[in-house]
Structure 1
Amino acid sequence: MQQDPTSDRVVKRVVVAGGGTAGWVTATALVRHLGPLLDVTLVESDEISTVGVGESTVPTFKGFHDLLRIKEDVFMSAAQATFKLGIEFENWGRIGDRYIHPFGIIGRRASWMAPFHHFWLHARARGFGGDLGEYCLEHMAGEANRIALDAAPNLGYAYHVDATRYARFLRGLAEPAGVRRVEGKIRAVELHPESGFVDAIVLDSGERIEADLFIDCTGFRSLILGEALGVPFEDWGRWITTNSAVAVQSRSVRPPQPYTSAIAHEAGWRWRIPLQHREGNGLVFCNEFMSDDEARAKLLAEIAGEPLVEPWLLRFKTGMRVDSWSRNCIALGLAGGFIEPLESTSIHLMMAGVTRLIEDFPFNGCSPGLVRRFNEKSRLEFECIRDFIILHYHVTERDDSAFWRRARTMEIPDSLQARLALWREDARAYQLDHELFRIESWSSVLLGQRFAPRGYHRLAEMMPEDALRDFLDRTRGEIAGIVATMPTHPEFLARYCPAPPPE
């Protein structure tokens, strides 16, 4: 008779169900941090392809790698990665507009109790001050296609990575450290008849794999948390209506720039991600306003280089499972939720989830309090990112298509409405403790998409105009001087993390 896996059952055996980026990120993190305390098995099938388009990251990626003691130059060479200092947005506020959401600090503190953008807004109201991006090192370096890691302390950057090569790289770290990989497709999930906990997964081969804790990394299907345990999916499609993407890899025909491009079109937007050996391209759209064939043709017409593969189509829903953790199963990656890729948050969400798991690992069992707290933190993070993505679509002056007319007039979550009201009143922006996106992120997008505040913090008026001019001029001058000393992005890559010879 099987033992009843109650909530206080000791957790020693962990099964990661699914490979790809989510599976190997999870397995590598668990074995590197908790290896002596756990037996970690990863189950994946070579017959099941991964989504393979999560190639753009955010700065928390670097911090996660630091925790895993991964050498940056080694990883970048293996994944044929490039640096990412921010995201370029074209055609979002109006057709023809362009701005950058940089990953660095904008300006600097002036020993006054107000963020920098208030002083900049005050200067602009007086007829001087230039562009906001001139006060951000990452913005100016990105525009000049330059980078140097020792140019300034705390440079804000992330990476563009080849997702397939990255998963392979992580596997090369995880297996020697003790992760056992099992090849096979999951045929069934066995639940305990009394508790409803997961007892085992059964593979097509008939092999039965038991564990105390199961990590569901099975992608959109969510085989364990969604299908077997019945945790429902909360659909946010009423706010984020893009639901499809066509993706293709192309030959590089220009030096890689250190930022991702997000170029809006009449029914969504298009991404361009430069790697060392190729470019990643995709066209995100709402299939209510654009057909699959139209999207494919548009993508192929607009990419710069020769396609290296046949374009492939993806369908998705933006939303999350009502609970990320149910009984003895936690879903990470696409199995737990997905927010469309506009701000490159998918890999961050899986890394943040596994970090929370390590911090609150259920060694003594999946207690209700532990599960509840994990789910609360997961939901807060998902919802804050959701609101930031909705912001890009809603704050626009575009009325050239039905897609944009609906986006600009739709009802938005109360949480986002409250933020917009604060900004409109006097340019107030904030970042909560659990939030990914900083004050600079909100101000860059709001100002970049022409959502002008009616005022700003009047504390900025207390700085004499001569002092403000000098403060802004010195800040711009220091940044320009640093950028001038940097090598170009391609030069730095060739020296620091050259890609291995082609396979």
Structure 2
Amino acid sequence: MNPHLLEHCVIVGGGTAGWMAAATLGHLLEGSPTKVTLIESEQIGTVGVGEATIPPIITFNTMLGIDEDEFVRETNATFKLGIEFVDWFERGQSYIHPFGDFGRDFDAIPFYQYWLHRNLAGTKDDLFSYSLMVEACRREKFMRPLTNRPQSALSGINYAFQFDASLYAAFLRRFAEGKGVTRVEGKIQDVTQASENGHVQSLKLESGETIEGDFFVDCSGFRGLLIEQTLETGYEDWRQWLPCDRAVAMPCAKVGDPLPYTRATARDAGWQWRIPLQHRTGNGHVYCSEFMEDDTAEQILRDNLDGEPLADANRLRFVTGRRKKFWDGNVLALGLAAGFMEPLESTSIHLIQTSLARLLTHFPDKRFKSADIDAFNHRTTKEYERIRDFLVLHYTATRRDDTPFWRHCQAIEQPDSLKSRIEQFRDCGRIFSEPNDIFGTASWLAVLYGQGVRPTAANPLIAKIPSDKIDNIIRQIGATIDHAATSMPFHQDFINENCSTFSEP
């Protein structure tokens, strides 16, 4: 047997990040000599704002072998086809960032280039009507993709979930414990480090119990008990680009059928989220304390709830940014311990997932080779930076100048990497995928166009194609999408038939 194999992986903290880590390690290490232990305290609350996700979570569930209908029932989940942005570009204007492509590509040229060429020539129509996901959102429709009809527009349905984060953590806890993960209740009082290299050796609990380990996963939230308080890794502050630093969250009673999308509504000094679940609606107000008082932010949230509040307001403080190292020595930070990206594009849970996938690629033994750790940190840093740029785009590409906050956002100096993307799009409508970019061409197109960024020209190769042929292609695609959206069942009907939490009378 390899003498360097890990004997004990210790996860510090529960919540979504901790139990996602426990479920992953428990599943993949089941039957191996490596033990997995999770330490959490019921006295320490968790931050439950990560209720909305993006499509790659399906890959995570599939990897674990989770039955999707059971998962939806157990977490009071609904399905999600995109995110609606209200009042971001200007008041009274909205658009949907869909999980899926626009139209269908021809001759290795993206569909939107044909649409752009036609519109620049004077034929004005709605880009977003050529997205099946947008049309399904508008009509409150949902179904899973047709896997047996690859030529059908319905085979391209791309979706995620909206769920109760506390129920998701409980669901994953049951799964992880079924895989042999041991949960220890208690608060950590002291951390012991090795004198020769500073690696964490053991954790002493308030009860007096000591837990030793080889590899530690820090899921302790904003405080970063191991990655920051112990190892002093450092934090890179991104408030120069993303100034919001407060949030207040509050669930309310549902007042109608849940929509198959999340809504983000711009407010005077930030934005409000609305996440429809089967049993309630999740709400929160993200704002900048430099431009708004806490009590005012809470009142704005209360004034814009759909239904009766179901709990007291939960106030949060944060600094958008990331740890300077996500993996330091024998400690890996996940979730809020790794950094914070406001949930504008529902990336919080995804960042946990991709870090876990990256961990499996670079899974260590007791030698903790620096090449693996450096590669992990480099790739994770790039991923955070790509998401940062995508979020900054929402704030800086705007006509909003009606409040001091939005005038401040207009004056923010964009990161050079974002400037380059916008310039290429303005010049000729070009969008290029970057490594470690979780948002593809369709996502960038939706937000660039939705935020008012307009190209001045289309791909020159399209000029050789007769205009009547382009018109015919676009009409056919529009008719196909309309027919497909019409044929889909309503979102609530799909839930009732397949995975409802509630029994029909």
TM over 0.5: yes
Q: How many residues align?
A: 494
Cα offset for 1:401? 1.1
Measured in 1, the distance between the counterparts of 2:385 and 2:463 equals: 35
Cα offset for 1:110? 1.1
Query: Is the Cα contact below 8 Å between 2:15 and 2:46 reproduced in 1?
Result: yes
Aligned position for 2:305: 303
Cα offset for 1:63? 1.2
Measured in 2, the distance between the counterparts of 1:418 and 1:12 equals: 47
Q: Is 1:106 the equivalent of 2:102? A: yes
**Deviating 4+ runs (over 6 angstroms):** none
Aligned position for 2:12: 17
Measured in 1, the distance between the counterparts of 2:86 and 2:339 equals: 27
Cα offset for 1:500? 5.0
Measured in 2, the distance between the counterparts of 1:11 and 1:473 equals: 59
SS of 2:155's equivalent? coil
- Gaps in structure 2 of 5+ consecutive residues: 147-153
SS of 2:191's equivalent? strand
Aligned position for 1:275: 277
Cα offset for 1:220? 0.3
More displaced stretch, 64-73 vs 78-87:
64-73
- TM-score in terms of structure 2 length: 0.96
Q: Is 1:160 the equivalent of 2:162? A: yes
Per-residue Cα deviation, 1:437-465 (whole angstroms, up to 9, x for no partner): 01111111111111112212112222211
Aligned position for 2:483: 481
Per-residue Cα deviation, 1:318-368 (whole angstroms, up to 9, x for no partner): 100000000100000000111111001000000100111112110353111
Residue 123 of structure 2 is aligned with which of 104, 108, 128?
A: 128
Instruction: Calculate percent identity across the aligned residue pairs.
Output: 43
Cα offset for 1:10? 3.3
CA separation of 1:460 and 1:256: change in aligned 2, threshold 3 A = same
Cα offset for 1:400? 0.7
Residue 412 of structure 1 is aligned with which of 414, 418, 427?
A: 414
Query: Is the Cα contact below 8 Å between 1:11 and 1:365 reproduced in 2?
Result: no
Cα offset for 1:288? 0.6
| Superposition pairs of residues 34-113 of structure 1, within 5 angstroms | 34-37=29-32, 38-111=34-107, 113=108
CA RMSD in angstroms comes to 1.3
Measured in 1, the distance between the counterparts of 2:347 and 2:464 equals: 39
Cα offset for 1:255? 1.1
Residue 368 of structure 1 is aligned with which of 367, 370, 376?
A: 370
Aligned position for 2:454: 452
Aligned position for 1:398: 400
Per-residue Cα deviation, 1:242-294 (whole angstroms, up to 9, x for no partner): 00011000000011110000000110100000000000000110011110000
Aligned position for 1:31: 26
Query: Is the Cα contact below 8 Å between 1:78 and 1:500 reproduced in 2?
Result: no
Which amino acid in the other structure matches residue 470 of structure 2?
L
Per-residue Cα deviation, 1:284-313 (whole angstroms, up to 9, x for no partner): 100111100000111000111000001111
Aligned position for 1:3: none
Measured in 2, the distance between the counterparts of 1:432 and 1:311 equals: 39
SS of 1:89's equivalent? strand
- Gaps in structure 1 of 5+ consecutive residues: 1-7
| Superposition pairs of residues 405-444 of structure 1, within 5 angstroms | 405-444=407-446
Aligned position for 2:263: 261
| Superposition pairs of residues 457-476 of structure 1, within 5 angstroms | 457-476=459-478
Which amino acid in the other structure matches residue 425 of structure 2?
W
CA separation of 1:290 and 1:271: change in aligned 2, threshold 3 A = same
Per-residue Cα deviation, 1:228-255 (whole angstroms, up to 9, x for no partner): 0010011001100000011000000011
Aligned position for 2:199: 197
SS of 1:250's equivalent? coil
Measured in 1, the distance between the counterparts of 2:17 and 2:485 equals: 36
Cα offset for 1:9? 4.6
Which amino acid in the other structure matches residue 11 of structure 2?
V
Measured in 1, the distance between the counterparts of 2:310 and 2:26 equals: 36
Cα offset for 1:127? 2.8
Per-residue Cα deviation, 1:378-413 (whole angstroms, up to 9, x for no partner): 101100001100010010111111111111121121
Aligned position for 1:337: 339
Residue 347 of structure 1 is aligned with which of 341, 345, 349?
A: 349
SS of 2:195's equivalent? coil
Aligned position for 2:287: 285
Measured in 2, the distance between the counterparts of 1:335 and 1:501 equals: 39
CA separation of 1:45 and 1:501: change in aligned 2, threshold 3 A = farther
Query: Is the Cα contact below 8 Å between 1:241 and 1:286 reproduced in 2?
Result: yes
